[in-house]
A and B are shown apart, each in its own frame.
Chain A
Amino acid sequence: MAGKQMEMTGAEMVLQALKDNGVEHIFGYPGGAVLPIYDELHQQEDVEHILVRHEQGAGHMAEGYARSTGKPGVVLVTSGPGATNVVTALQDALMDSIPIVCLSGQVPTSLIGSDAFQECDTVGITRPCTKHNWLVKDVNQLSRIIHEAFRIATTGRPGPVVVDIPKDVQFATGIYTPPSPVIEQKSYQPKVSGDLDKIRAAIELMATAKRPIIYSGGGVINSGREASQLLRELVELTGFPITSTLMGLGAYPASGKNWMGMLGMHGTYEANMAMHDCDVMVCIGARFDDRITGRLDAFSPNSKKIHIDIDPSSINKIVRTDIGILGDVGHVLEDMVRLWRASKKTDRSQLADWWTRIANWKTRNSLAYSSNPDVIMPQYAIQRLYELTKDRDTFITTEVGQHQMWAAQFYGFEEPNRWMTSGGLGTMGYGFPAAIGVQVAHRDSLVIDIAGDASIQMCIQEMSCAVQYELPVKIFILNNQYMGMVRQWQQLLHGNRLSHSYTESMPDFVKLAEAYGATGIRCDKPADLDDAIMKMIDTKGPVIFDCRVAALANCFPMIPSGKAHNDMLLPDEASDEAVANAIDAKGRALV
């Protein structure tokens, strides 16, 4: 045992364990089954509690907090509805590999299974949407389990965990054990360093490449700032072009000379064409998600593939890889950079033809849109927001939909941990609470939630939380009165029959902000946009910015369902007819 053993109640243990694991902030909502823990919270000052307005908000706040700091986010909810409300955020964190420790209250052990008031089978419900979960029935196991929960959430491929604590266990007295540096657990041993022989083989393969590409993902961000630095070094040493998934934006700077833009369904033409035509693909901390690969049997048909991932089940899951390296991205990149430095002199002329082809694809200008002097184009709004905030200490979160893709396309990220978005699960309502979580960790930074008019209404109640804790989060709504991405797909798939994707009754967002005690700003003229954005930035408290944009703009380029990377729908070709016929009968069944 590392430290002193102490006798205390279960509720005291929870607070002690949080402190011992370095927790400074938790997001939660009280209720009957967690009252003993809330009573302890009340009697201390080390851990700051942020009172949310809905448990889903607590989960997303913890995600934003975790993603922007690299530390685990902690959530405290009550039994029954408290636990079920946080499920969406847990699944979101599972799919995007975000470390979350969720503590939930449970009815007393004597009542478990009796359909008691506010009882639900929390471990049963959260089993498939957590990395691991526990029901603590013995107060003497509580501290060990909480320490283990932090270890499992933050090591290996990070993810959410749930510790379900019955009320009688919170009241019971037992022995507290501090975190031990010696790990007793035998079954869970994530592998950190990669196999050197495989890394050498990868280096050999990369050195022979004539048309290489690096495809990096959220794993680089999760691995820590060092990993992003090593990725930049590897790109510099090899001279390879680099693209990234939605989750990986910022690991390599958008201003870097080898940057190709995001790849995938709404990625750039050059990134997708290069993925399709490459001869060596180096996938670093990404998982060949279906938004990335497009049609699988036509995915990068002539390339050798190297895949670095900490999760063995990610390797060879979707795409057969030639060299699969199991390990933490940061460790593997360190070896790669060292070995490349020691042995390889990059022959840049070998890549000259490839870079010429890439330059050619870039001239296709796949993110082009027609500007309009009278109506704000959504792409233009993001561009102006970027220009006016890029030199500040800025964090961006998003909701889910067209605005999310435009943000990914038009906002340039220079550093990791600056971009928080719901990639895997695609959770509308994620962005605003996530922004609050970011702001809690970075009080003096500029935190902006780029939102859509539909998404923002899914967790708007947290405005009350932002006002209460004086968290000056800015919500920048691209308001087109539609669920834009739903409408875009209805245009693509369903003969432009816009079934329930138009919001007939929209709140007055300016008045809504004022009702919460925040500031509302509206802008509908391109000429006024810069001043309005500056006003938003200069406002001390939270702001809802209602940016009225072109209602029918769509998000291009796009790889329609069932199509390959080299079969993109580009903005200048996307006539109404091309859109209506882009997806054939076979592609229609796909999501």
Chain B
Amino acid sequence: MNAQHQPTGSAYFMTAETARPETHTLSVLVDNEPGVLARVIGLFSGRGYNIESLTVSETEHEAHLSRITIVTTARPNVLEQIKSQLERIVPVHRVVDLTVRSAELGHDKPLERELALVKVTGTGDNRVEALRLADAFRAQVIDANTEHFIFEITGRVSKIEQFISIMRPLGLVEICRTGIAAMNRGPQGM
């Protein structure tokens, strides 16, 4: 899904791409109806855009609205296309580029958090070390017996990445991550 990194094969796209790819976080407000996620994902795969992270859940039950958070990397002109193409989907209400919006609001970047469940098995020193590190990372133990822990950790993506890489040699057996939930600082709504 990284077609925009290459000449597009089609027709006359021989123009030199000079701008650098940027990573942006988009919030998309959609009607929660059957197939809406397929429309969004199909747009990304069909037009060769990247999805680095995708989170979706109904946020307004009465209005049947879901909020989709997508992290994507592309050159600035392609990012503009992604937003315009998303807005063309009929059940899409709004598309907000949180990365652009946070810059407008004078912030460094949007608040982004991810939750991960991490299962670690082992005994002896490794087990003690895993628990000590989990404590340092403020990960909670949500299940355990004498041979394993399941940790719940919430935080920035970099923190979760780091926690997972530290746990790997200590007996990591299973990971589940939610993808990014994101929002901008300040009193303003989306």
Contact = CB atoms under 8 A, between A and B. Distances in A.
Given A296-B14, A562-B14, A589 B85 contact: no
Interface string B40-74: 00100010000000000000000000000000000
Interface stretch (A232-240, A312-320, A353-361, A368-376): A312-320
A124 B93 contact: no
A297 interface: yes
Interface of B: 9-16, 30-31, 34-35, 38-39, 42, 46, 77, 80-81, 84-85, 87-88, 90-93
A124 B34 CA distance: 11
A243 to B, nearest CB: 18
A480 interface: no
A561 B34 CA distance: 42
Given A313-B84, A313-B85, A590 B91 contact: no
Nearest to A559: B12
B81 A313 contact: yes
B181 to A, nearest CB: 22
Contacts of A186: 93
Nearest to B31: A187
Q: Which 8 residue pairs of A and B lie closest in terms of their CB atoms, listed nearest first?
A: A290-B11, A313-B84, A132-B90, A297-B15, A296-B15, A187-B93, A312-B84, A188-B90
Contact of B12 (A132, A187, A295, A316): A295
Nearest to B90: A132
A288 to B, nearest CB: 10
Interface of A: 123-124, 127-128, 131-132, 135, 152, 186-188, 290-291, 293-297, 311-313, 315-317, 320, 561-562, 586, 589-591
B95 to A, nearest CB: 11
A290 B10 contact: yes
A66 B92 CA distance: 27
B14 A295 contact: yes
Contact of B35 (A127, A295, A590, A591): A127
Nearest to A319: B15
Contact of A123 (B13, B35, B93): B35
Contact of B42 (A128, A293, A294, A311): A128
Nearest to B63: A186
Contacts of B9: 589-591
Nearest to B33: A134
A290 B12 contact: yes
A315 B30 CA distance: 23
Given A128-B46, A295-B14, A296-B12, A311 B88 contact: yes
A293 B77 CA distance: 18
Contacts of A562: 12, 14
Nearest to B92: A187
Nearest to A187: B93
B11 A590 contact: yes
Contacts of A188: 90-91
A276 B5 CA distance: 28
Nearest to A296: B15
Contacts of B30: 187
B14 A297 contact: yes
Contacts of A591: 9-11
B3 to A, nearest CB: 14
Given A124-B38, A128-B42, A312-B88, 6 more contacts: A135-B34, A187-B91, A290-B13, A561-B11, A561-B12, A562-B12
Contacts of B88: 311-313
Contacts of A313: 81, 84-85, 87-88
A127 B38 contact: yes
Contacts of A291: 11
B81 A317 contact: yes
A561 B7 CA distance: 14
A433 B80 CA distance: 38
B51 to A, nearest CB: 16
Contacts of A297: 14-16
Contact of A187 (B14, B16, B80, B90): B90
A320 B16 CA distance: 14
A127 B89 CA distance: 11
B87 A590 contact: no
B58 to A, nearest CB: 15
Given A127-B35, A187-B31, A290-B10, A312 B87 contact: yes
A317 B83 CA distance: 11
B93 A590 contact: no
Among A152, A188, A294, residue most surrounded by chain B Cβ atoms (within 10 Å):
A188
Contacts of B34: 135
Contacts of A152: 90
Contacts of A124: 35, 38
A363 to B, nearest CB: 28
A6 B15 CA distance: 59
Contacts of B46: 128
A187 B87 CA distance: 9
Contacts of B13: 290, 296
